[in-house]
Amino acid sequence: MDMSFSASDLGFRDEVRAFLAAELPQRLRDGMNGTPSVFVEPEIGLEWQRILHARGWLAYQWPVEHGGTGWTPVQRYIFEKECALADAPSLSVLGLKLVGPVIAHYGTPAQKSRFLDRILTGEDLWCQGYSEPGSGSDLASLKTRAIRNGDKYIVNGTKIWTTHAHYADWMFCLARTDPDVKPQAGISFLLIDMKQPGITIRPIIGMAGDHEVNQVFLDDVEALVENRVGEEGQGWTIAKFLLENERGGSCAAPRLIAELDRMERLSLAQPSGINGALGHDTEFSRRMARLKLEAEALEMTELRVLGELAQGRKPGPQTSLIKLVASSLRQHIDELAVEMFGYDGLQLATERPLYGNESPEPIGSKPAQLAMPTYLNSRAWTIFGGSNEVQKNIIAKTVLGL
Amino acid sequence: MEALGRGLVAEPVLDAAIIPGTLLDGAGATALLDPLMAGTTLVALAHAEREARYNLAHVGTTARPRGDTVVIDGIKSAVLAGGAADVLIVSARQSGGTRDRDGIGFFQVPADAPGVDRRSYRLADGSVAAEIAFRGVEVAASAQLPGDLDSLTPVVATARLAAAAEMLGLMTLLFDNTLSYVKTRTQFGQSLGSFQVIQHRMTDAYVLVEQARSQVVRAALAPADDFARAAAGAKAFVAEAALTVAHTAVQMHGGMGVTDELVIGHALKRIRVLALTFGDATAALDDYRRAA
Q: Does A348 contact chain B (CB < 8 Å)?
A: yes
Chain B: nearest CA to A346, how far in angstroms?
5
Q: Are residues A291 and A353 in the same domain?
A: yes
Contact A84, A39 (CB under 8 A): no
Q: Are residues A267 and A388 in the same domain?
A: yes
Q: How many CA atoms lie within 13 A of A252 on its CB side?
A: 25
pLDDT at B142: 96
> Does residue B279 sit in helix, strand or coil?
coil
In a domain, A211, yes or no: yes
Give phi and psi for B242, each to the nearest 5.
Answer: -65, -40
Q: Are residues A255 and A296 in the same domain?
A: yes
As a whole-number percent, the residues of chain A with pLDDT over 90 amount to: 83
In a domain, A21, yes or no: yes
Domain count, chain A: 3
Average confidence score pLDDT of chain A: 93
In a domain, A99, yes or no: no
Res A131 pLDDT > 90: yes
- Domain limit, last residue, from A42, A66, A91: A91
Instruction: Determine, for residues A364 and B266 on separate chains, whether the beta-carbon distance falls below 8 Å.
Output: no
Instruction: Determine, for residues B251 and A379 on separate chains, whether the beta-carbon distance falls below 8 Å.
Output: yes
In a domain, A164, yes or no: yes
Q: What is the pLDDT of residues B197-220, one digit of tens each?
A: 999 999 999 999 999 999 999 999
| Spacing of C-alpha B47 from chain mean position | 12
Confidence of residue B292 (pLDDT cuts 50, 70, 90): low
Q: Which CATH number fits domain B2-147: 3.40.50.11750, 2.40.110.10, 3.40.190.10, 3.40.47.10?
A: 2.40.110.10
Confidence of residue A248 (pLDDT cuts 50, 70, 90): low
Q: Are residues A226 and A252 in the same domain?
A: no
Instruction: Report, as an integer, the average pLDDT of A193-206.
Output: 97
Q: Are residues A211 and A72 in the same domain?
A: no
Q: Are residues A309 and A371 in the same domain?
A: yes
Q: Does A278 contact chain B (CB < 8 Å)?
A: yes
Q: Are residues A222 and A134 in the same domain?
A: yes
Give phi and psi for A344, each to the nearest 5.
Answer: -65, -25
pLDDT at A1: 45
Q: What is the pLDDT of residues A160-199, one digit of tens each?
A: 999 999 999 999 999 999 999 999 999 999 999 999 999 9
- CB-CB neighbours of A73 under 10 Å: 18
Catalytic residues of A: 246
- Domain limit, last residue, from A65, A91, A117: A91
In a domain, A242, yes or no: no
Q: Does B193 contact chain A (CB < 8 Å)?
A: no
Domain boundaries, chain B: 2-147, 152-290
Q: What is the pLDDT of residues A329-353, one digit of tens each?
A: 999 999 999 999 999 999 999 999 9
Q: Are residues A49 and A158 in the same domain?
A: no
In a domain, A110, yes or no: no
End-to-end Cα distance, chain A: 35
Q: What is the pLDDT of residues A54-83, one digit of tens each?
A: 999 999 988 899 989 999 888 989 999 999
Q: Are residues A189 and A314 in the same domain?
A: no
Res A227 pLDDT > 80: yes
Question: CA B136, CA B203: separation in Å to the nearest integer?
Answer: 56
Note down the domain range covering A73.
2-91
Name which CATH class applies to B152-290: mainly alpha
Res B146 pLDDT > 60: yes
In a domain, A239, yes or no: no
Contact B137, B93 (CB under 8 A): no
Query: Considering only CB atoms, which chain A residues are within 8 Å of B121?
Result: 347, 349, 363
